Each structure stands twice: as structure tokens, then as C-alpha cells.
A and B are shown apart, each in its own frame.
Chain A
């Protein structure tokens, strides 16, 4: 099924969870925030949260910044 991750289309299999997506992207759950369709998830919900066709997922983390850089 097709979802969007950080603005890019991505094909994932049915039954993929947020944790599964992070693992596929080789990202550490500890260091990121995840938003699905504008809803910010608690980290403890990553394991149980199934992704659905058309979901818009944003995976955010910290980068260098003072003010606007």
C-alpha cells in the first residue's frame, strides 16, 4: 500500500506498524518524533500503531539550529 513519509511516496506492506517503518528506515525510535495524519504519537504507541493506505507520516528529529538557520 502507498503512504507518504516525510513528503515522499513509499510503498509498504499491509500490517506495517510505525516501529516497522522506523526499522525499515534504520531509524532509532528513541531519537525521533512521529506524526501520522497530523496526530503526534507517543513513543509507546509506535509498536501497536498500524499504518493505513494514504497515511501521511512525518518523522522528525533534532538538527543544528540556533534560531533560523
Chain B
């Protein structure tokens, strides 16, 4: 599928699996899992540097920004002001204008505060950021984010880290049908079939972190996810057969005794 390219804001990607870099044992495991996943886009969080341990390593020593598209997020931000501040800090750190915008509404569910998300997106788009918003599986909010100028939208499959898979497939299908920018299903994937399903529905990419990092064997799961996303994409492009209640023989009757 050399010609199957995902384009977002002029950037092109061959892999449709995007991965987070949290929850791994160490940077080496992070690096190996990302290699095994074949991902080109990796999300990172922005945090205070550890100034007491002078030997602490930097994640970017393990993930070369020349090889990967580094997608900073505003994870952990519960207000518009915080999300905007973190996005600006991420850009100031000098990786890119990309931001995975998160404005979280609630600690227990980590569901997005979509009103805050829209407000923060407006501010950041005006400042020239390429805003990729983490949003709920709400088609109306997704369209509003596009109208603001987000070049892609990232609806959740299920709560972050829940591993529940696609909780609301029909809403996701409506988003895919009505919103005319790349849709990246983000959060909630539990295993390979969840990712494959998202791609079969027509998602343009899938972003995950815990499903890989939290697996008993992260490197093996990373590879499984790579194939799942590829298989799901191919099945979407191939066009599945309709579901029917009754059988339909695959072998001809003609020529039988």
C-alpha cells in the first residue's frame, strides 16, 4: 500500500497507527515498542524538567524528531488557560507547531470538556498551531472543531486507558460520514481487533498508548497493532460484503450429480 498516504496539514504519513509514549518501563522499551509498531507519529507530554537528577535522560534522545513526527499533547490540562499555556510551551521547546489538544473535563472519566476544547482550539488556531483535538464521539462537536480550522479530529473510542474498544460505533460512523477531514480514533483501544474495527469503519488512523504499553508483552502487542491497523485499512478499502440472515453458497450447484 505504498500509495495509501494520510495527509494532514501538508504532512504525509504512511503508517496509520499513532502511538503515545507513556507508561513504558523505560525509554529503551518505549523506543523498541514504537519501532515494532511502525508508527511515524508519536505523542509526548510537556512537563517540568527534573532539575535535581542531572543524569536524567531526555525522551527525545530516544525518539529522533528527524525520524518521527513528535506530537506534543496538553494532557493533564483541565482549563482552557492551562491547555493554551502547555501548547505554547510545547511549541517553544522547538519541535513543531503541531499540538494534540486536550482539555479534560473530569478526573475520573478523563472525558474531554468539549466547550473548553472549542475555546482553546479557537485561540491556538489563530496563533498558527496545527490543532488536532482530542474530543468526544460527538458529530456536532467534531464539525465545530473543523469549522474552527482543525485539520483533523480525534474522537475517543472509549475513556482513556479503559481498553473498552469502540463504545459508540454508530456515533463514530456518523462522524466518519459527515466530517470531511481525517478522523483519528484516539483512546480506549484494548486490543488488536478494536483497532482493526476502527479502521474497517473508515477511520483514517488510530492513536493508542495503554493498549501497547500496558500489554504483558508491549513489543509483541505493538506489532499486533501494526498489522491490525493495516488489515483494517485494507478491509475498508476492499469493501466488505453485506450482512445477510441466510446462507449464500460459495460453491456452484451446476455440475453436481
Contacts and interface: CB of A to CB of B under 8 A. Distances in A.
Interface of A: 5-8, 25-28, 30-35, 40-43, 58-69
B245 interface: no
A28 B54 CA distance: 11
Given A65-B73, A67-B110, A40 B88 contact: yes
Nearest to B48: A6
A63 B160 CA distance: 18
A67 B157 CA distance: 13
A8 B48 CA distance: 11
B257 interface: no
Contacts of B92: 33-35, 40-43
Contacts of A7: 48
Highest count of chain B CB atoms <10 Å: which of A42, A59, A66, A69: A66
Contacts of B21: 63-66
B22 A62 contact: no
Contacts of A41: 92
B22 A32 contact: no
Interface residues of B, number: 46
A25 B94 contact: no
Given A32-B93, A59-B51, A64-B59, 19 more contacts: A5-B51, A6-B49, A8-B51, A26-B54, A31-B93, A34-B92, A43-B92, A62-B90, A62-B93, A64-B27, A64-B44, A65-B21, A65-B47, A66-B160, A66-B207, A66-B210, A67-B102, A67-B209, A69-B20
Contacts of B172: none
Contacts of A68: 75-76, 102, 104, 110, 160-161
A25 B53 CA distance: 9
Given A32-B93, A41-B92, A66 B47 contact: no
Report, nearest first, the 3 A-B pairs whose CB atoms are least far apart: A66-B20, A66-B209, A65-B45
Contacts of B51: 5-6, 8, 25, 27, 59
A60 B70 contact: no
B187 A67 contact: yes
Given A43-B92, A68-B110, A69-B23, A61 B49 contact: yes
Contacts of B58: 28, 31, 61-62
